[in-house]
Copies of this chain bind each other. A is one copy, B any other.
Amino acid sequence: MVENIKKYGGCPVSATLKIIGGKWKPLILYFISVDVNRFGQLQKMMPGCSKRMMTTQLRELESDELVHREVFAEVPPKVIYTLTEKGESLRPVFRELSKWGIKNILEPRMSENQQR
């Protein structure tokens, strides 16, 4: 990997994490991928994420071209978020992250609690 760092002038893993590592980004990307695609719907699914956070995370995902934002000229406003191709291409990455997390964090956490 050192060759990659030299070749490209940076660590590819850190570069990816910088883009997808926002506090709510994985969850937002996931929900959009299953067609929870409106601002208000996303908020209902993630009550811990404030309106302000939701907007900034979505704007960053948009400027990194992982999601597309489509505004309809209606009142009350209607906005729909969809994954771009670049966003879709994260699937295998998320699959690995998810597999590892279930096995090494969530499952152990569960069996801990079952002990008592």
Contact = CB atoms under 8 A, between A and B. Distances in A.
Q: How many copies of this protein are present in the complex?
A: 2
Q: At the interface, is chain A mostly helix, strand, loop or mixed?
A: helix
Interface residues of A, number: 41
Most chain B beta-carbon neighbours within 10 Å: one of A9, A26, A92: A26
Given A8-B107, A21-B21, A101 B13 contact: yes
A40 interface: no
Contact of A11 (B2, B26, B34): B26
Nearest to A2: B34
Interface of A: 1-2, 4, 8-17, 19-21, 23, 26-27, 30, 34, 86, 89-90, 92-102, 104-107, 109-110
